A and B are shown apart, each in its own frame.
Chain A
Amino acid sequence: QKEVEQDPGPLSVPEGAIVSLNCTYSNSAFQYFMWYRQYSRKGPELLMYTYSSGNKEDGRFTAQVDKSSKYISLFIRDSQPSDSATYLCAMSGTGNQFYFGTGTSLTVIP
C-alpha cells in the first residue's frame, strides 16, 4: 500500500464550478499537510499548508485535514481557467522526508 493515495483524474469542470481534490494516507505520524499546484514543465508551487487537523482558507482555496479518517481535501471555489494545472498533495511527519500523492490533473473549461 502506498503511503499517500490520490486520484489522478483527469478532472474537467466548467468555469465557476467548485472543485474538490482529495488524498488519503496510511501513516498516522504525518502532521504537516501541503497542497501544491504545478503547471506543465514548472516546479510545484506551495498553495496551502496545514498543521494537524482542521480547516484553512486562503481566498478561493480551502484545505481540510481529518486525521481521524486520514483524509485531506482541497476545495477551489469559483474555479478559473488559470486554475488548470496538476495538484499534488504532500505530507510529512518527523524526519526530513516528504510523501507525495500522484497528482490530479485539473482542466477548467471557459
Chain B
Amino acid sequence: DTEVTQTPKHLVMGMTNKKSLKCEQHMGHRAMYWYKQKAKKPPELMFVYSYEKLSINESVPSRFSPECPNSSLLNLHLHALQPEDSALYLCASSQFSRGARNEKLFFGSGTQLSVL
C-alpha cells in the first residue's frame, strides 16, 4: 500500500473562515510534508515533520498552522486566508530514517482550495 489519503478533495472558503485539511498514511513513514502548488508550477514546500516534530517551516505565513497528532496523521489548519492562497495543497510522506537516507516521496491526490 503506497497510499496517502487527503480530505477534502475540494474546499471553498471565505477569508474569515477557519478550516482544516487532513492527511493520513499507513506506510510507516516518519516524514510528512505539506506542499502548495499553483497551476503550471512545481510543488512548493511549506512544512516538514520528521518523527512527529516540525523540522522545516519555509517561512509560511501564520494563517497556515500545521499539526502532526501522530506518526500517521498530518493536519493543516487554515484561518483568515487570502485569495492568493488559492492553490492545490498536497500532502506527502517518505520513509526518512535518522542518519540520513530519504528515498521516495509519495503524494496524496491533493485538496483544491479556493479562497473567495
Contact = CB atoms under 8 A, between A and B. Distances in A.
B56 A96 contact: yes
Given A43-B90, A43-B110, A95 B104 contact: no
Contact of B105 (A51, A86, A98): A98
A105 B107 CA distance: 19
Query: Which 5 residue pairs of A and B lie closest in terms of their CB atoms, listed nearest first?
Result: A94-B100, A43-B107, A100-B42, A43-B110, A43-B109
Interface residues of A, number: 26
Interface string B96-116: 100011111111111010000
A65 interface: no
13 contacts: A32-B102, A46-B105, A49-B103, A49-B104, A86-B40, A92-B102, A92-B103, A92-B105, A94-B101, A98-B102, A102-B42, A103-B40, A103-B42
Interface stretch (B11-19, B43-51, B65-73, B78-86): B43-51
Interface of A: 32, 34, 36, 41-46, 49, 51, 86, 88, 90, 92-98, 100-103, 105
B104 A34 contact: yes
Contacts of A49: 103-104
Interface in B8-54: 31, 40-43, 45, 48, 50
Contacts of A45: 107
B107 A44 contact: yes
Name the prevailing secondary structure of the B interface residues. Answer: strand
Contacts of A32: 102-104
Contacts of B56: 96-97
Given A96-B55, A96-B94, A102-B41, A41 B104 contact: no
B88 interface: yes
Contacts of B101: 94
A44 B108 CA distance: 8
B58 to A, nearest CB: 10
A41 B88 contact: yes
